[in-house]
């Protein structure tokens, strides 16, 4: 029998009961009276033969295929966001669900194709995710489906959204410096994340900046000096070099908020080149808590993007049927390492 699928008919033969009885027992149906003895014989036979349900058939009958679709632009192929999938997988696997992962690479035609493909396969529900937090317009075919939005903002779809609490994260980063006594001489590198793709800035940029400025304002401290640039290592390097050249002596910054860890890598390179040491000459705090933050010397204190929790929460909401159109903000904790020193 090697290679052939064990069917309910095989189980019925082995148990000496009808095919219908097997179907009712293994389908966990209670609308027909089955004796405890029969139930036990069926379960035993199924176990002995190694019977496994044909979920494709079950999906057709009950519309519960045990499958969740995760549609994303570039999550699976993005170095930093793999933990989103990790969280989603853990949550799905715990409940015996399999996760369909499909990527669109941000192309609307591919997205339409992929979403149709998932609906064709009758997934029980979908998580619609983006790599970075932004406003999106999902395909209309998703309307009315069990759906959770992950890391994106959607108008008028009536589904819950799970996003990182970037605004609170901005306050957290600022407070880490304020509590170390850095009430002036603080620079922010990165700003609102204005790029060709996000000419008005990115949502994370706006919320992080808002949180930072609020915290300094509430503390009655000097507002930090903000340098707007792309959030990449070379930009961090070039802009900090320029800052160090034009702010010497007493005007040298004493603390730096980098809007992400990539900027911090570039900033470290500029500081090392200038013979300045972290944290003795300059305290640094950052965002994302990517692996870079523990690889830098000295290791970098960084406010963590909660990738795992984002993925886990989205799938949990979906499986719990908790689909009210609410925005769930996931906390971003500070990972304290060795890059902040008290203001001397």
Contacts to its own copies from residues 198-257, by CB under 8 A: 233, 237
Hey, what are 236's tokens? 């961090």
CB of 71 to its own copies, least distance (A): 11
Select from 164, 123, 159 the least CA-distant residue to 138: 159
- Say whether residue 106 binds its own copies (CB under 8 A): no
The answer to whether 338 contacts its own copies (rule: CB under 8 A) is: no
Report helix angle 8-15 to 36-49, nearest 10: 120
Exactly one of 95, 218, 222, 295 binds its own copies (CB under 8 A); that residue is 295
Q: Which two tokens stand for residue 256?
A: 């730096």
Nearer to its own copies, 228 or 234 (CB): 234
Cis peptide before 298 (omega within 30 of 0): yes
The verdict on 265 binding its own copies (CB under 8 A) reads yes
Pairing type for strands 255-258 and 225-228 reads unpaired
Is residue 157 close enough to count as binding its own copies by CB under 8 A? no
Residue 4 sits in the site that holds its own copies (CB under 8 A): no
Dihedrals phi, psi of 257, to nearest 5 degrees: -105, 115
Asked if 73 interacts with its own copies (CB under 8 A), we say no
Radius of gyration of the CA atoms of the chain, in A: 27
- Out of 15, 118, 209, 243, point to the residue binding its own copies (CB under 8 A): 118
Q: Does residue 52 bind its own copies (CB under 8 A)?
A: yes
Residues with Cβ < 8 Å from 300, sequence gap 6 or more?
261, 264, 268, 284, 285, 286, 292, 293, 294, 337, 339
- Rank residues 68 and 168 by Cβ distance to its own copies and give the closer one: 68
Inter-helix orientation angle 166-179/203-218, to 10°:
40
Distances (CA, A) of 27 to 15, 57, 198, 328: 16, 11, 51, 36
Q: Give the x-and-dash track for 75-94 against its own copies (CB under 8 A).
A: -xxxxx-xx-xx--x---x-
Question: What count of residues does the chain have?
Answer: 344
**164 φ, ψ (degrees, to nearest 5):** -75, 145
64 binds its own copies, rule: CB under 8 A: no
Is residue 284 at the binding interface for its own copies, with CB under 8 A as the rule? no
Query: Looking at 114-122, 148-156, 157-165, 216-224, which segment touches its own copies (CB under 8 A)?
Result: 114-122
Q: Where are the alpha helices (DSSP H) in 297-340?
A: 307-320
Q: Which is nearer to its own copies, 63 or 344 (CB)?
A: 63
Q: Does 98 bind its own copies (CB under 8 A)?
A: yes
What's the min distance (Å) between Cβ of 259 and its own copies? 16
Among 18, 291, 327, 336, binds its own copies (CB under 8 A): 291
339 binds its own copies (CB under 8 A): no
C-alpha dihedral over 330, 303, 81, 234, to 10 degrees? 150
Which residues neighbour 328 within 8 Å (Cβ) at sequence distance 6 or greater?
160, 161, 162, 163, 313, 317
Choose which of 66, 139, 146, 201 interacts with its own copies (CB under 8 A): 66
Q: How far is the CB of 327 from its own copies (least distance, A)?
A: 25
Q: Is 116 among the residues that bind its own copies (CB under 8 A)?
A: yes
Tell me: does residue 9 bind its own copies (CB under 8 A).
no
Closer residue to its own copies (CB): 214 or 238 = 238
- Element containing residue 343 per DSSP (H, E): none
Which residues here bind its own copies, judged by CB under 8 A?
2-3, 52-57, 59-60, 65-67, 76-80, 82-83, 85-86, 89, 93, 96, 98-103, 110, 113-114, 116-122, 144, 233, 237, 262, 265-266, 269, 272, 291, 295, 297
């Amino acid at each position: 029998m090697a290679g052939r699928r064990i069917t309910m008919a095989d189980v019925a033969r082995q148990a000496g009961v009808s095919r219908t009885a097997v179907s009712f027992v293994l389908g966990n149906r209670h609308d027909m009276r089955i004796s405890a003895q029969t139930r036990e014989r069926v379960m035993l036979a199924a176990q002995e033969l190694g019977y496994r349900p044909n979920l494709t058939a079950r999906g057709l009958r009950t519309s519960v295929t045990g499958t969740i679709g995760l549609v994303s632009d570039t999550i699976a192929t993005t170095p930093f966001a793999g933990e989103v999938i990790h969280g989603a997988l853990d949550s799905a696997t715990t409940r015996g669900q399999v996760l369909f992962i499909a990527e669109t690479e941000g192309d609307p035609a591919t997205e339409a194709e992929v979403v149709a493909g998932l609906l064709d396969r009758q997934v029980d529900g979908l998580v619609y995710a983006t790599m970075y937090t932004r406003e999106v317009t999902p395909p209309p075919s998703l309307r009315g489906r069990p759906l959770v939005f992950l890391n994106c903002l959607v108008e008028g779809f009536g589904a819950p959204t799970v996003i990182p609490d970037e605004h609170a994260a901005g306050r957290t980063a600022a407070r880490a410096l304020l509590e170390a006594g850095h009430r002036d001489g603080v620079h922010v590198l990165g700003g609102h994340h204005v790029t060709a793709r996000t000419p008005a800035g990115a949502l994370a940029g706006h919320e992080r900046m808002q949180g930072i400025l609020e915290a300094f304002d509430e503390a009655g401290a000097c507002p930090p000096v903000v340098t707007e640039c792309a959030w990449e290592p070379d930009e961090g390097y070039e802009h900090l070099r320029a800052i160090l050249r034009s702010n010497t002596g007493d005007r040298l910054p004493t603390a730096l908020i980098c809007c992400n860890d990539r900027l911090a890598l570039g900033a470290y390179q500029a500081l090392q080149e200038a013979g300045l040491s972290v944290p003795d000459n300059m305290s640094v705090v950052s965002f994302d808590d990517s692996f870079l933050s523990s690889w830098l010397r000295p290791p970098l204190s960084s406010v963590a993007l909660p990738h795992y929790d984002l993925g886990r929460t989205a799938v949990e909401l979906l499986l719990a049927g908790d689909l009210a159109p609410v925005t769930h903000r996931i906390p971003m904790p500070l990972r304290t390492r060795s890059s902040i020193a008290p203001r001397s």
